[in-house]
Structure 1
């Protein structure tokens, strides 16, 4: 705890002692060692899917806590391999991606069909595989923001995947097609006994207004989460909220002023709790993304994000670039620092 306080410095009181006066913690379904028995046992998920969820929750340093730490490396497609791996060319080799997840004590590794299939026989039984079904590739010119399927659910099952992942760009012109595609894919994944994780991202140039970017606004991302759990995602991935009031700024959608006065405040933990609430009050776990690598500030940013997520009622972090865009030993240290937040019993729900 002393290391965390030293790392936060003057911010330690702001993050560690904040009391949430918006959505009370008693209303939340919080992560725990009994998550499957307490939360998921009443759902329609079949037994193999419950087994897959339990396997994911039982693996790595956070195994048995109800929290997860996942390494996601799909940036080779989503951004370009060169831009992603130039800081550390080691990760052009898929085996090193999986090794980082194992050495880093992660619950699972999320990556592309190509990455995971190339080493599946060696590693699928050693760490839970999360196969990302769709991607936005940036070689088409001019660039567009559209997620397309790169493989099938059955392909993921055949390589021994524990879960499948997918992205929907809510708010984009293609979002309704993506909703249908991903809903059908998740239904089939559950039928085969795999868990489902949805990247609930927003993409629309009109979500920027008067110089403010609302792609990570609590009200917009919260609604994206709510759409995601509606198509039966077992876990939702979302960016940590950086502001609020997207609906009001854009003059779009339906709102109630209590969304901004009673259910949220301007504190990051309260904004994140609104995201948790939109996942059926935590029945569907929220994992926040670690974001881009900023260099020297990566450790501080990762720990802050983990504290905000945990104290809000989330179930973990999915951090990629901050870990793999540096030497492997430093990546392992960063992943362990994130996990230490969730293992620390003094960091409690706000």
Structure 2
């Protein structure tokens, strides 16, 4: 245990004291619905989710190394469409074969694997009973030129159900010209998924060229991503996937939307844990779990970045990590180790 703590501190480097001793004084932890063994009972048994949805969510939360803890580690691989297969899998060509994606999630002790219709359909009978499937039902394909950056449906909710999926996943580009249509499409898809007994997971990404100014990129601002989360839970996502916030003040500095001074001086500070907590409180005060994405693979720094994200998410009141490229763009053994990081963080550090 001591060696494990020291290794985590080593990965955190100069930020270890700041991240490991910080106490959030914006929204206190006791005001949140925090992950734990009784999380599903506390949140969903009084909801409108039917029995089959509860079973599906339980199959995810009770699977893998983190099973029963209320925390999640999910492997998402849709980059073959979202970033082109060549650029995504060139660092590790075995993942052109989607069976290896499923194998990596199993070896990594993940709660679930999230990937495409085609990849899961080809191996459904072999693996649907071995690890929960999350079928990503929409994508942004990059073969159109010029690129359009729109999320379109690649299949139906009923197809996902036929594959034995425990949940469907979808992306909305909040702030984009197509956002209204995407919100309507995904809302209808989530309603159908719940009717068929599946959970729902929303990739709540912001996308608008105006969100990037000459001196700052606000796509990952706490106020913009927090609002994206709030819309996501409104259309009944059971789990929110979001990028870790690294700044704030998007509404205020771009000068749109509605703000209140308390958003910036009481509900959040510039501390990374407080910024992430603002995302959590916008997800119905943590009643809908927040999983932060691992981001692009940077090579040697991947483990340090994953540890940092896991610590911030955990101490902010989040539900875990969803790491793709950092895991599958490296050798299998290292990918498995990276997918195990959330479990190590959850055991060692408390929410403050």
TM-based fold match above 0.5: yes
Q: Please give the root-mean-square deviation of Cα atoms over the aligned residues, in Å.
A: 0.7
1:230-269 alignment, distance < 5 Å: 230-269=234-273
State how far apart, in whole Å, the 2-side matches of 1:60 and 1:117 are: 22
Q: What per-residue deviation string (whole Å, max 9, x for no partner) do you get for residues 256-280 of structure 1?
A: 0100000000000000000000000
Give the equivalent residue in structure 2 for 1:27: 31
Give the equivalent residue in structure 2 for 1:96: 100
State how far apart, in whole Å, the 2-side matches of 1:163 and 1:219 are: 28
Corresponding residue pairs, total? 348
Give the equivalent residue in structure 2 for 1:75: 79
State how far apart, in whole Å, the 2-side matches of 1:117 and 1:104 are: 21
Give the equivalent residue in structure 1 for 2:184: 180
Report the alpha carbon displacement of residue 182 of structure 1 after superposing the two structures with TM: 0.2
TM score, norm. by length of structure 2:
0.98
1:1-350 alignment, distance < 5 Å: 1-342=5-346, 344=347, 346-350=348-352
TM score, norm. by length of structure 1:
0.98
Report the alpha carbon displacement of residue 117 of structure 1 after superposing the two structures with TM: 0.7
Greater CA drift, 261-270 or 32-41: 32-41
State how far apart, in whole Å, the 1-side matches of 2:174 and 2:14 are: 37
Report the alpha carbon displacement of residue 210 of structure 1 after superposing the two structures with TM: 2.8
State how far apart, in whole Å, the 2-side matches of 1:177 and 1:8 are: 41
- Would the aligned equivalents of 2:327 and 2:336 in 1 still touch at CA under 8 Å? yes
Structure 2: which 5+ residue stretches go unaligned?
none
- Would the aligned equivalents of 1:209 and 1:249 in 2 still touch at CA under 8 Å? no
Give the 4+ runs in structure 1 shifted more than 2 A: none
State how far apart, in whole Å, the 2-side matches of 1:274 and 1:245 are: 12
